[in-house]
Amino acid sequence: MRLAFCLYKYFPHGGLQRDFLRIALACQRRGHAIRVYTLEWRGEIPAGFEVQVVPVRALTNARRYAKFTDWLRRDMAQRPVERVIGFNKMPGLDVYFAADPCYEDKARTLRNPLYRLSGRYRHFAAYERAVFAPASRTEILMISSLQQPLFVRHYGTPAERFHLLPPGIARDRRAPANAAAIRAAFRAEFALTDDDRLLVQIGSGFKTKGLDRSLAALAALPDALRRRTRLIAIGADEPSAFRRMAAALGVGERVDILQGRDDIPRFLLGADLLIHPAYNENTGTVLLEAVVAGLPVLTTAVCGYAHYIEDAGAGVVLPEPFAQPALNAALERMLRDDAARRQWQANGLAFAGHADIYDNAETAADVILAERK
């Protein structure tokens, strides 16, 4: 079959983008042709992929996305495909990969009622409705069980259209046999002694992921512990506001903010703790990537994958509603307790050996390629 994959932006280090690539490659391995429609492609193009960068512009994202879908409709009328798979919500999809949370629920619970009079709301609400309305025939690939009840509440989506996927954790995130040697080399490269503590925060969208909360928690550590603790944040985002915040808190020299990169497994093996105090997070793939690498995790219960941290016994999950003092206290406790970190590491590595968390691409491909009624 000819398959059209649609997403607004591709860059190598985004979680949604990595999910898209794994699923598209799984379909390609089964002999199907891959065409990608996107507004922006950064990085190498896989062999055999046809990538169509859609040439539309607009002053607002909503208007640009509307032009994008109109352009797709015209192009596919001339060059038909058998399946249309979307990684952003839009009309005309056969299958939607639900990486984003329920927009309608956020608009009604987190926004002023006047927000629903805006053009932005009308666009995104309509595009979500096109996927989830009962009359739609779009099959929905869910990656978080927390979101399905919200879509059902707002749209009445039939249960049979939802397909819950296991997390798609890349197997190269698991700790290899030479993990200790990689850790030692990494820590030497970054001038970290055995007494130093390294926190990592990984993920694009520093504001949503709670980097401000992490900086505040680092600044709140007792002086002696703070002086031997560093934080490295990695993600495709604008860092200037967070660098200013770190400087204002007096921890600027303890913080490095790096752009997205390809050697994340080295950071997971070289660090002492993953901190991920997100404001909202549909899943949180990096939480599981840390667990299978043997890196203890400190996160918030709002993350869709936070329950895996508790299931594995691989760290601490802070309850909602969030409280900064609770994060501060948990961070200090986890950095001081060497025995607990060793146990969380052992638990995570054991969990990695038996958990069903690796095969979402193949499961997604099954749904995409299934016969339609």
The pLDDT tens digits of the residues spanning 93-122 come to 999 999 999 999 999 999 999 999 999 999
Q: DSSP per residue over 138-207, as a string?
A: -EEEES-TTTHHHHHHHH---GGGEEEPPP---GGGS--TTHHHHHHHHHHHTT--TT-EEEEEE-S-HH
Closest CA to 137 of 91, 173, 75, 179: 91
Q: Which pLDDT does position 200 carry in this prediction?
A: 98
Question: Residue 190: phi, psi to the nearest 5?
Answer: -100, 15
Q: Are residues 102 and 202 in the same domain?
A: no
Q: Which pLDDT does position 183 carry in this prediction?
A: 98
Q: Which CATH number fits the domain that encloses residue 106?
A: 3.40.50.2000
Kindly report which listed range (42-46, 142-146, 194-198, 311-315) carries the lowest average pLDDT score: 142-146
Let me know if 104 is exposed, middle or buried by CB neighbors in 10 A (0-12, 13-18, 19+).
Answer: buried
Secondary structure (3-state) at 79 = coil
Q: Are residues 280 and 346 in the same domain?
A: yes
- Total domains in the fold of the chain: 2
Instruction: State the average pLDDT over residues 165-193.
Output: 94
Q: Are residues 97 and 156 in the same domain?
A: yes
Confidence of residue 144 (pLDDT cuts 50, 70, 90): confident
Q: Which pLDDT does position 50 carry in this prediction?
A: 98
Closest CA to 218 of 188, 197, 236: 197
Q: What is the CA radius of gyration of the chain?
A: 21
pLDDT digits (tens, 9 = 90+) for 242-284: 999 999 999 999 999 999 898 999 999 999 999 999 998 888 9
Instruction: State the average pLDDT over residues 271-299.
Output: 96
Q: Are residues 137 and 286 in the same domain?
A: no
Instruction: State the average pLDDT over residues 298-322.
Output: 96
Let me know if 285 is exposed, middle or buried by CB neighbors in 10 A (0-12, 13-18, 19+).
Answer: buried
Q: Are residues 346 and 202 in the same domain?
A: yes
What is the residue type of 202? I
Q: Which pLDDT does position 53 carry in this prediction?
A: 98
Let me know if 199 is exposed, middle or buried by CB neighbors in 10 A (0-12, 13-18, 19+).
Answer: buried
Q: Are residues 183 and 299 in the same domain?
A: yes
Mean pLDDT value across the chain:
96
Kindly report which listed range (67-71, 85-89, 304-308) carries the lowest average pLDDT score: 304-308
Is the Cβ–Cβ distance between 154 and 104 less than 8 Å? yes
Stated pTM of the model: 0.82
* Per-residue pLDDT at 145 exceeds 90: no
Name, in order, each residue with C-beta under 8 angstroms of 51's C-beta and a sequence gap of 6 or more: 35, 36, 38, 41, 45
Is the Cβ–Cβ distance between 175 and 151 less than 8 Å? no
Instruction: State the average pLDDT over residues 280-307.
Output: 95
Q: Which pLDDT does position 326 carry in this prediction?
A: 98
Closest CA to 65 of 39, 45, 46: 39
Q: Which pLDDT does position 372 carry in this prediction?
A: 82
Peptide bond into 321 cis (omega under 30): yes
Report the residue count for the chain: 373
Instruction: State the average pLDDT over residues 323-335.
Output: 98
Please give the angle made by the CA atoms of 353, 355 and 357, to the nearest 5 degrees. 115
Name, in order, each residue with C-beta under 8 angstroms of 6's C-beta and a sequence gap of 6 or more: 36, 37, 38, 72, 84, 85, 86, 87, 88, 90, 93
Residue 82: DSSP 8-state: S
Report the C-alpha gap between 141 and 365 in whole angstroms. 10
Which long-range CB contacts under 8 A does 52-60 form with residues at least 24 apart?
60/119, 60/120
Confidence of residue 168 (pLDDT cuts 50, 70, 90): confident
Q: Are residues 144 and 184 in the same domain?
A: no
Q: Are residues 36 and 125 in the same domain?
A: yes
Closest CA to 98 of 167, 153, 37, 147: 147
Q: Are residues 240 and 335 in the same domain?
A: yes
* Per-residue pLDDT at 139 exceeds 80: yes
- Cα distances from 110 to residues 120, 121, 224, 327, in angstroms, run 15, 13, 39, 23
Report the C-alpha gap between 231 and 201 in whole angstroms. 8
Q: Are residues 150 and 203 in the same domain?
A: no
Q: Which pLDDT does position 195 carry in this prediction?
A: 96
Q: Are residues 199 and 348 in the same domain?
A: yes
Q: Which pLDDT does position 146 carry in this prediction?
A: 84
Expressed as residue numbers, the domain containing 94 is 2-166+358-369
Instruction: State the average pLDDT over residues 334-347.
Output: 98
Q: Are residues 142 and 253 in the same domain?
A: no
Confidence of residue 172 (pLDDT cuts 50, 70, 90): confident
Q: Which pLDDT does position 14 carry in this prediction?
A: 84
Is the Cβ–Cβ distance between 212 and 245 less than 8 Å? yes
Is the Cβ–Cβ distance between 278 and 303 less than 8 Å? yes
